[in-house]
Structure 1
Amino acid sequence: MANKKHLVILESDKKARLLGPWLGDDYIVTATGGHIIDLPKKGLAVDVDGGYEPDYEIVHGKKKLIAELKKLARDADQILIATDPDREGEAIGYHIARQLGFDNGSGDRFRRVTFNEVTREAVLEAIASPGDLDLARVDAQQARRVLDRLVGYGLSPILWKKISPVDPISRAPLSAGRVQSVAVRLIVERERDRRRFHASEYWDLTATLSRDDREFEARLTALDGTRIATGSDFDPDTGQLKNASAVKLLNEKSATETAARLTDVPYVVTGVELRKKPTNPRPPFKTTTLQKEANARLNLSPRQTMKVAQRLYEAGNITYLRTDSTELSQRAVVAVRRAIESRYGKRYLSPTPRTHATTTKGAQLAHEAIRPAGTELKTAGQLRLQGVEAALYDLIWKRTMASQMAAEIQQHVSVTLTADNAEFRATGHTLEFAGFRRAWMEGAVDVESALGGKDVFLPALVEGDEADFRAVEPTGHTTRPPARYTQGAFPGILEEEGIGRPSTTATIISTMESRGYVRLEGQQLVPTFLAFAVTALLEEHFEDLVDLGFTSAMEQGLDQIADGKMEWRSYLNEFYRGEHGFEARLVEQADKIDPREASTVVFDDMEQSVRIGRYGPFLEHQSGDETIRVSIPEDLAPADLTAEVAARLIEQKKATNEEVGVDPVTGKKVFRLVGRFGPFVQLGEQEEGGPKPRRSSLPKGMAIEDVDLDKALSLLELPRDLGAHPDTGKPVRAGMGRYGPYVVHEKDFRSLQAGDDVLTIEFDRAMELLREPKRGRQARAVLRELGPHPADGEVIKLFNGRYGPYVKHGKINASLPKGMEPDAVTVEQAIELLAERAEKLKSGKGGARKGGRKK
């Protein structure tokens, strides 16, 4: 009797290539590359009157794949759906099965296979015990998609009509979303907190003392028995002192006077306290903590982290990456503890296996924590990983190992000294036992030095000892406003509030950024004025949709659908057409929204208002019968737009938005103006539908009120020729660019330095700058190493550049074509792209991007 034929269907080609050899000849393994059917990108595509049935369509480019799957399925006795083990994977698997003839009466022909790690052992175990497609999870995923369509396609048109069809700066269409809008509100609320914050100043004293020729520092803690105010005594939200009667607040005058008085008094030890402080390791990574740590340590955005982690998972190096659990499986705990004992010795193990309970609101706990796959706990080096993949794997390996190790033990010493009516405290600490810190030192050249490098030593002191006085210095401090959320930490904030799920939180930041609601300033998420306007509209007219509790409850409803405890259509109908349903409120509220009010942001502490205009946000100020409008600089955050800053911008506009003369060559008027990128000069007036007039920004430090006609014309003539380069005969020029003033010769740019003036710099000085080595930018992180090039064996690398992803070999860079996913590019495709690029460069058709000011 012939063996049964099995068709195994996965999402990833990479996983399919791994599984094929493990399963043998009776299994045909193939992949879909993700969704094969989905909601169309345009239109609601939901039949609200027909039970909220989604109107799916075949994903572009997948018709041929579906035909191939049907052909393979005809010859298979059993079809094993092995898509990813989350709701999205369940839905993808269901849609595949439906295309191949699955219905509720299909019997055992269609089975579901799930594994948390792509290892031979885990896969064979899953294949040996398949289950059924979880239709409740499919319903939950479908309900989420439909719910998001109903909210997004209902609210977005209101934003287009009442505020603006697009973000004035990025030109991306405005949008609202069930998770996106509440996420934007969180960021806006934090910026409002920063606006309300009023900084306070406090001072303290630090004494430099010594004993037995060893210097140490002691900080003033009390005067006349009253504790000195420190940063923790101020309200973090308002910046004001919480309990003024309980502490003594020093200002600069009192701190300086106290320091002068304490220079000629003895400093006597009045107390010594020794204590051991144990520190336990943190739990293994879940999705959001991995994103946060990768951002802090590797400078990866949450989205980049997930892409790298996806590659590690598909290659069989780590367990599934979308999880809200911090628990390890029993098998993993045994493996980790065995690896710790083997590598570091038994004393580095925690006395009993550690458990790390997950406390996240609404956690599904469908998968274990993220850890190295398998039971061998191989290091990145043993797996021959390189680049960013090695760095992220190393982070996961260390966190996993540390989670089952003994506590770190530090010896802390606190010494109290009295000087006249003042009390000082000196503290020190030394490492007694590294415990779990040993795992974090893996790979260090000198482990002992690395572990002891943070010790703070104090001389041996006992009560009654007198320390030798060296100096006492007053130091001023200012309370800081609540910190903005960072892109690394923000997914965790959403998770704590029960908003979104591990599969969605990584993409929220990029969505907010692309819509013009948030910009990145370093790692900080800074809301735009557009975000303030959209949030204010939603708070007034659709308050529940930006309410944390309501959004969290919606997520819990989806979880109940996934658990089979709620019917998905009734869930949607209650939201959309139930009492106070969303459909009726859309019509009712849309008529109440005044477009001018919706596009105006009002701050209580300013008489000027902020308007959202066609070209970006601007200040509007009524001065008698005159309305003054001035663009807000693009890099000015809402919390930094104070009444003083607004007044200065208005005054600058009054003083500078004027004609300075006429260009004698063209006869056109010359203006000095202020725009959203700062002050600039312009030749001629902007005519409706006509070309943009010639413009030039002002060099940093040049005040616009000092710009007369001669200076304006000089700026408008940039770039200017300084002379011919002695080696090439080509011109050397000075000009103004995106990053400020520069000199250039044949695309070789150098920024001007302090003291250089773009209007007066001469040829010899320009040549000096050009002879200096170029200051390199920070090296771009390698996304992936694809493999050796057949010509010379040099590794082809994949990077993410300013204009998108590209591959690099030697001096040749080749951009990935539109539609080619960086995660899917192969070494063969890269070789082909590089060859095409090299050919273009040879023929002179592959020039650099063109740009610059039009003459």
Structure 2
Amino acid sequence: PSVKRVTFHEITKPAIDAAMASPRKIARDLVDAQQARSILDYLVGFNLSPFLWKKIRYGLSAGRVQSVALRLICERENDIEAFIPQEYWTIEAQLANSAKTTFAAKLHSCDGKKLGKFALGSQPQADEVMSALQNAAFEVSKLEKKERKRNPAPPFTTSTLQQEASRKLGFSARKTMSTAQKLYEGIDIGDGSHGLITYMRTDSVALSEQATTEARDVISQTYGKEFALSKPRVFRSKSKNAQEAHEAIRPTSIARSPEQIKSFLTSDQFRLYQLIWKRAVASQMAQAIFDATSIDIAAGERYSFRASGQVIRFPGFMALYIEGNDTGDDENKEGLLPPLNQGDALNCQQLTPEQHFTQPPPRFTEASLVKTLEEYGIGRPSTYASIMATLVTRKYVRLEKRTFFPEDTGRVVAKLLVDHFSQYVDYDFTADLEEDLDAISRGEKTWIPAVKQFWDPFITLLQKKDKEVSKADITTEKTDKICPECGKELVIKLGRSGRFLACSGFPDCRHTEPLNGDGEATEEPVMSDEKCEKCGAGMLIKTGRYGKFLACSAYPDCKNIQPLEKPKSLDIECPQCKEGEMMEKKSRYGKIFYSCNRYPKCKYALWNPPKKEACPKCAWPITEIKTTKRWGTVQRCPQEECDWENVLIPPVKKPAAKKAPAKKKTAAKKPAAKKTTAKKTTKKDA
């Protein structure tokens, strides 16, 4: 019998009816490409993984894309460890116009030349400029106003959905895809089951005519006609190996707003649907328009400061949605500037030199790793979630605060692959292989020669390395340390729990020492005055990954562990369970928090100190005290749905510098200096 295929990218009755009415033949090229991809993955995994079992330990795995992702994470960690911070200084002036409206400006140029980031590389250099500016007159030398326009981001692809759900919702890639799958397959919204979004495995940023028409109607009705476009905005994919067989990820009916179906969705489903809906609608909204102002201020004869600000004249798509970013920077942090004209004299109220240090490259988050893999053209976005999950499951990496840290085993595996199979974990090679697979899907190449071209040199190299590389070469590292028991050399070995020091005289000498993260021996445990409440043995003070803790000296017979610093009682009843008591505790990262002592039965917790005083608005039994530089100290209700707060201590404003009275000129005295405040920080300059 003749076999045909029907394709659709949304599970709705009209889409399925249309697909059934237009069946097509099986696309042999697409079948061949999928078959080649599957075979290549099997060839790499089924042959390279057993090699790792023999050379490192059983249970490890390697993969065509997985190993490249691991290399990215490990090389980033190497860059961070090798990074040497470089000092630099900036100088900021607090200036006021004739109406005494203040604004900030930063030192920008000297003798007409723009100052580079490291122009002031030390405090003496900054002090020299500060001295030169003490009696300088400040005057507006140039004022420039421009109109800036900003376009919305395109509707979601698989990759951008994973990135944005990570940034905005805190979802892992796996959680994003599983939640999207449920929205795609269909949910009962009162009148039967409906597929709520289009297919979520796509590289396309295109929207159908029906979708753009619906979006225009929704925008006009909700925001006004000035926010809608006269004709649809068309996007083009920027992905290196985009496969645009499907539409972008969008709601199957844009007229179906998130609020209309909220009661039928779980919290995660609603949040993801809302994100997809907003992104799709915003992509068809008008540009945002800004009035941007840049002001150059002459300071004396040699120096110039610059202040920038921008104001949203027309919000456009930003009234609905603003794309997130990986740095956390606020693109619109530039604020208002007071009315100024060229030639206006300004009063310098304060000069502030500030020390900075360059920061190492950031570790990968799920969002930034997905973005990097896609930019390199490595793998398919639909597989990224499972790849990252495998890296964590294999304990090659760990996720802390949504950031990837390579484990010892992962770094050893990555080094082995880079040292001995560099071609197969090379970024360009992997991307080129992906391009070959795409060429097969387009009918430009045949799959068997492509697979053979990969397989023959790969298996030859693998057989060669199997003979050349020993387990000791990979898992043992020499040191200059001496065994305290037998005098032989200590070596670093890799165990199931990571690296440790061991005597090279094993098995005659079985001396071992734990290592900290820097490859140094950890401190020896010290006996404390505490007794184990479970068995009565003494408690040892030990050092772990997250600092010092108490552990029973009878281990492994007794595995009791306790924090070194005991939780402090606050004499406040837990407002949630009304049985426990609020305690001050420290997280494993050293941050103080406040939680119920009945944990895990009661999981009520706060980051801010609780106060034994009920909220006057909602009557919640406690309030909390929060202190920030921007808002000062406020007492507020900890309940998210309640907005009550009371300012206890207002924020401290920087005092304006007072001018010193004029003094008679003498040879020994210098003119009065403006007030300066030196700040030192290791944080990255904003």
How does the TM-score come out when normalised to structure 1?
A: 0.59
1:117 deviates by: 1.4
Question: SS in structure 2 opposite 1:525?
Answer: strand
Match of 1:438 in 2: 319
Question: SS in structure 1 opposite 2:146?
Answer: strand
Match of 2:473 in 1: 597
CA distance in 1, matches of 2:112, 2:268: 54
Distance 1:226-1:618 versus aligned 2 partners, 3 A rule: farther
1:670 deviates by: 8.3
Question: SS in structure 2 opposite 1:382?
Answer: helix
1:180 deviates by: 0.6
Match of 1:124 among 7, 10, 17: 17
Using the TM superposition, name which of 346-355 and 473-482 deviates more: 346-355
CA distance in 2, matches of 1:441, 1:378: 21
Are 2:531 and 2:539, in contact at CA under 8 Å, matched by a contact in 1? yes
Question: What pairs with 1:757-772 in structure 2 (closer than 5 Å)?
Answer: none
CA distance in 2, matches of 1:747, 1:434: 46
1:555 deviates by: 2.1
Is 2:285 the counterpart of 1:405?
A: yes
Distance 1:229-1:137 versus aligned 2 partners, 3 A rule: same
1:458 deviates by: 1.5
Distance 1:660-1:506 versus aligned 2 partners, 3 A rule: closer
Match of 1:382 in 2: 260
Match of 2:564 among 680, 683, 699: 699
**Equivalent residue pairs, number:** 566
Match of 2:427 among 548, 551, 554: 548
The aligned amino acid for 1:613 is: G
Are 2:550 and 2:564, in contact at CA under 8 Å, matched by a contact in 1? no
Match of 2:240 in 1: 361
Distance 1:467-1:610 versus aligned 2 partners, 3 A rule: farther
Match of 2:78 among 185, 192, 197: 192
Query: Structure 1: which 5+ residue stretches go unaligned?
Result: 1-105, 166-172, 231-240, 242-247, 443-450, 701-714, 719-729, 755-771, 776-855
Match of 2:495 among 604, 613, 625: 613
CA distance in 2, matches of 1:511, 1:188: 15
Aligned-residue CA RMSD (Å):
4.2
Match of 1:309 in 2: 180
Are 2:580 and 2:596, in contact at CA under 8 Å, matched by a contact in 1? no
Q: CA deviation digits over 1:741-782, x for unaligned, max 9? A: 99957977899999xxxxxxxxxxxxxxxxx9799xxxxxxx
Query: Structure 2: which 5+ residue stretches go unaligned?
Result: 187-194, 324-329, 481-488, 568-578, 608-620, 625-686
Are 1:350 and 1:407, in contact at CA under 8 Å, matched by a contact in 2? no
Are 2:109 and 2:304, in contact at CA under 8 Å, matched by a contact in 1? yes
The aligned amino acid for 1:561 is: I
Question: SS in structure 1 opposite 2:144?
Answer: strand
The aligned amino acid for 1:199 is: P
Distance 1:147-1:202 versus aligned 2 partners, 3 A rule: same
Using the TM superposition, name which of 261-270 and 198-207 deviates more: 261-270
Are 2:528 and 2:539, in contact at CA under 8 Å, matched by a contact in 1? yes
Are 1:620 and 1:627, in contact at CA under 8 Å, matched by a contact in 2? yes
Match of 1:539 in 2: 418
Match of 1:210 in 2: 96
CA distance in 1, matches of 2:584, 2:143: 65
Is 2:371 the counterpart of 1:485?
A: no
Are 2:173 and 2:385, in contact at CA under 8 Å, matched by a contact in 1? yes
Identity percentage over the alignment?
Answer: 36
Q: CA deviation digits over 1:471-529, x for unaligned, max 9? A: 11111111111111111232222122121113211211111111111111212111112
The aligned amino acid for 1:405 is: M
Are 1:349 and 1:404, in contact at CA under 8 Å, matched by a contact in 2? yes
Are 1:202 and 1:229, in contact at CA under 8 Å, matched by a contact in 2? no
CA distance in 1, matches of 2:449, 2:202: 28
Is 2:337 the counterpart of 1:458?
A: yes
Question: SS in structure 2 opposite 1:383?
Answer: helix
Distance 1:572-1:190 versus aligned 2 partners, 3 A rule: same
Which has the higher relative contact order, 1 or 2, with Cα contacts under 8 A spaced 6 or more apart?
Answer: 2
Distance 1:735-1:425 versus aligned 2 partners, 3 A rule: closer
Distance 1:750-1:632 versus aligned 2 partners, 3 A rule: farther
CA distance in 2, matches of 1:737, 1:331: 54
Are 1:678 and 1:697, in contact at CA under 8 Å, matched by a contact in 2? no
Question: SS in structure 2 opposite 1:317?
Answer: coil
The aligned amino acid for 2:304 is: E
1:228 deviates by: 2.9
Using the TM superposition, name which of 191-200 and 563-572 deviates more: 563-572
1:317 deviates by: 1.5
Match of 2:514 in 1: 631
Are 1:682 and 1:694, in contact at CA under 8 Å, matched by a contact in 2? yes
How does the TM-score come out when normalised to structure 2?
A: 0.73
Match of 2:376 in 1: 497
Are 1:302 and 1:487, in contact at CA under 8 Å, matched by a contact in 2? yes
Distance 1:534-1:460 versus aligned 2 partners, 3 A rule: same
Match of 2:41 in 1: 148
1:184 deviates by: 0.4
CA distance in 1, matches of 2:46, 2:91: 60
Q: CA deviation digits over 1:90-137, x for unaligned, max 9? A: xxxxxxxxxxxxxxxx22xx4321111122221211111112333433
The aligned amino acid for 1:223 is: C
Question: SS in structure 2 opposite 1:472?
Answer: strand
CA distance in 2, matches of 1:502, 1:383: 29
Question: SS in structure 1 opposite 2:24?
Answer: coil
Is 2:24 the counterpart of 1:159?
A: no
Distance 1:746-1:268 versus aligned 2 partners, 3 A rule: closer
CA distance in 2, matches of 1:436, 1:470: 39
Are 2:549 and 2:564, in contact at CA under 8 Å, matched by a contact in 1? no
Question: SS in structure 2 opposite 1:488?
Answer: helix
CA distance in 1, matches of 2:78, 2:252: 44
The aligned amino acid for 1:591 is: K
Are 1:267 and 1:468, in contact at CA under 8 Å, matched by a contact in 2? yes
Match of 2:438 in 1: 559
Are 1:411 and 1:432, in contact at CA under 8 Å, matched by a contact in 2? yes
CA distance in 2, matches of 1:251, 1:627: 51
1:403 deviates by: 1.7
The aligned amino acid for 1:430 is: V
CA distance in 2, matches of 1:751, 1:279: 43
Match of 1:266 among 126, 133, 137: 137
1:565 deviates by: 4.0
Question: What pairs with 1:742-757 in structure 2 (closer than 5 Å)?
Answer: none
Q: CA deviation digits over 1:384-423, x for unaligned, max 9? A: 4542222222222222222222221111111111122321
Question: SS in structure 2 opposite 1:519?
Answer: strand
Match of 1:428 among 283, 300, 309: 309
Distance 1:418-1:699 versus aligned 2 partners, 3 A rule: same
Is 2:110 the counterpart of 1:223?
A: yes
The aligned amino acid for 2:251 is: P
Are 2:250 and 2:276, in contact at CA under 8 Å, matched by a contact in 1? yes
The aligned amino acid for 2:514 is: S
Are 1:317 and 1:372, in contact at CA under 8 Å, matched by a contact in 2? yes
The aligned amino acid for 1:377 is: A
CA distance in 1, matches of 2:307, 2:580: 64
Question: SS in structure 1 opposite 2:381?
Answer: coil
Q: CA deviation digits over 1:456-478, x for unaligned, max 9? A: 22121111111122211111111
Are 2:196 and 2:251, in contact at CA under 8 Å, matched by a contact in 1? yes
Distance 1:297-1:260 versus aligned 2 partners, 3 A rule: same
Distance 1:472-1:620 versus aligned 2 partners, 3 A rule: farther
1:352 deviates by: 4.5
Are 2:490 and 2:503, in contact at CA under 8 Å, matched by a contact in 1? yes
Question: What pairs with 1:718-733 in structure 2 (closer than 5 Å)?
Answer: none
Match of 1:40 in 2: none
CA distance in 1, matches of 2:546, 2:277: 46
Match of 1:237 in 2: none
